[in-house]
Amino acid sequence: MSSFIRLFASVKAAIVLIIIITIASIVGTLIPQGRSPEEYLLRYGQLAPLFQRLQLTKLYSSFWYLALLFLFSLNLIICTLLRLKPKIKRVFRPHLDFKPSELMALKNSQKIIFSVPMEKVYGQLRSILHSYHYQIKEKKGESSLTLLGRKKMSGYFGADVVHLAILLILIGGLTSGLFSFRMDLALHKGEMATIPHSDFAVRLDAFTTEYYPNGQVKDWKSTLTVVEEEKEVLSKTVEVNHPLKYKKYLFYQSAYGWDWDKADLEIVIRSAEAQGQDKIISVKNGEKVTCDPNLEIHVHRFLPDFVLDENKRPFSRSNEPNNPAAFVEVTREGERIFSGWLFARFPDFGQMHPGKDSPLSLELRNFSASEYSVIHVSRDPGTGFIWAGCIFIMLGLALAFYWTPREIRFLLQSEAGRTALLVAGIASKNKEALEKEIEKIISSLRKKK
């Protein structure tokens, strides 16, 4: 047990853990978190499966990252407890047996002789120390008296309050990593979705996109209504940084998109046999239409942002219509006469059915899809710990840097009707201010004698 405590009480262990956590956090910042496998494959190629196995794509909730936070918390707790006991003893059970040699060994010590009895000096000294807001502890001997004046003693615990703050933040991080709930809801206007692990649902009543004059997106706004037990209990228009809050759940406006799986397409059919007689066909993605008694058009797939992966397989790089394409098949009396991709931005490009000269040419002229709003739902039980940690860290830093403890030790000795006063002060910071204050106290004492 002692070797275990020594290991985790080591400052070296704390430094090593901090370095590892810092490096891991930097990696988590550089690698986007919580994206789709396709996006990682496109961005990192063959390294993508390795990143996913190492949990680098969900780093902050990974087992090994949470284990590092736990070990650092354990190190911090042990270090704090080992150093806390001497501080508590110093603050609440101070040493009052001052020896003359100990006091005179301190840098700002001095000895003053007063030609009045010790009891009078003692009374005046107590009064002066109270006026400077010192708390006094004393111990009487046969012919001597020790007096300890102290103030701002809570400053000794500044570092410990900072440690407590860090622990609260780590507990918040661990709680968030283990028990937080996050999901994205893609809602069309009028659509309602039940929130998992809750007894209510949310409905999207309206969704608008605002644009700048140059065409760039300025803001998304979604009007959400909370429905509980078939009753509307709350409505609010949410924006990117203005969430709806209900029962510890937060609903943020995250993004928007188009439902390309149900896209409406407009395809132009041109026949080499009947030039100038173009046909415009409206068809939904995934459906078949018959435009002539013997001619069928089937749209198998629509991709808004067509690209090929490393294995030459098509997929959509994003949900934005940057390179829209549809895979279309045309049959006449059951025989395939056209099969290939149609590109809206490249109407002359197509992939013909191998071995056949198609009598048709097709063009993807137009496309559209219903817009939806992406609402990010989160419930994070660790948030309260993190906010409390932030408050305590500010308090601890204020105690450590701006609330410096001061101690003034006095030893009064009676010498043939006179009083010898030995005085020395202790401060970890701003020692010059303490020396000036001691001089003021001694000056006030001399004036009163």
Give the model confidence (pLDDT) of 63-93 as tens digits: 899 899 888 888 888 888 888 888 998 888 8
Report CA torsion sign: 90, 95, 101, 104.
positive
Give the model confidence (pLDDT) of 201-215 as tens digits: 999 999 888 888 887
Residues 278 and 336 in one domain: yes
Residue 157 counted as domain residue: no
Distances (CA, A) of 96 to 49, 148, 149, 442: 67, 7, 11, 21
Residue 97: φ, ψ to 5°: -90, 80
Residues 282 and 424 in one domain: no
User: Exposed/middle/buried for 229, CB within 10 Å: 0-12, 13-18, 19+?
Assistant: exposed
Give the model confidence (pLDDT) of 136-180 as tens digits: 999 888 788 999 999 999 999 999 999 999 999 989 888 887 888
Residue 82 counted as domain residue: yes
Q: How many domains does the chain have?
A: 4
Residues 52 and 134 in one domain: no
Query: pLDDT above 70 covers what percent of the chain?
Result: 95
CB within 8 A of 140, min separation 6: which ones? none
Residues 252 and 305 in one domain: no
Domain boundary, last residue among 46, 63, 89: 89
C-beta separation of 172 from 441 below 8 A = no
Q: Predicted confidence band at 357 (pLDDT cuts at 50, 70, 90)? A: low
Residue 404 counted as domain residue: no
Residue 133 counted as domain residue: yes
Residue 403 counted as domain residue: no
Q: Which helix (H) or strand (E) covers residue 21, if one does?
A: helix 11-30
Provide Rg for the chain, Cα atoms: 38
Residues 118 and 187 in one domain: no
Residues 248 and 385 in one domain: yes
- Predicted TM-score of the model (pTM): 0.67
Please give the average per-residue pLDDT across 394-402, as a whole number: 93
- CATH number, domain at 421? 3.30.310
Residues 381 and 341 in one domain: no
Residue 400 counted as domain residue: no
Residue 348 counted as domain residue: yes
Residues 355 and 416 in one domain: no
Domain boundary, last residue among 89, 116, 139: 89
Residues 249 and 383 in one domain: yes
Which one of 108-117, 268-277, 440-449 scores highest in mean pLDDT? Answer: 108-117
Give the model confidence (pLDDT) of 223-245 as tens digits: 999 999 889 999 999 988 889 99
Residues 363 and 314 in one domain: yes
Residue 158 counted as domain residue: no
DSSP structure class, residue 75: H
The span from the CA of 354 to the CA of 352, in Å, is 6
Please give the average per-residue pLDDT across 369-389, as a whole number: 90
Question: Where in the sequence is the domain holding 240, given as residue range(s)?
Answer: 166-258+373-395
Residues 125 and 142 in one domain: yes
Please give the average per-residue pLDDT across 32-57, as a whole number: 84
So what's the pLDDT on residue 340? 87
Residues 327 and 414 in one domain: no
Query: Average pLDDT of the chain?
Result: 86
Domain boundary, last residue among 74, 89, 104: 89
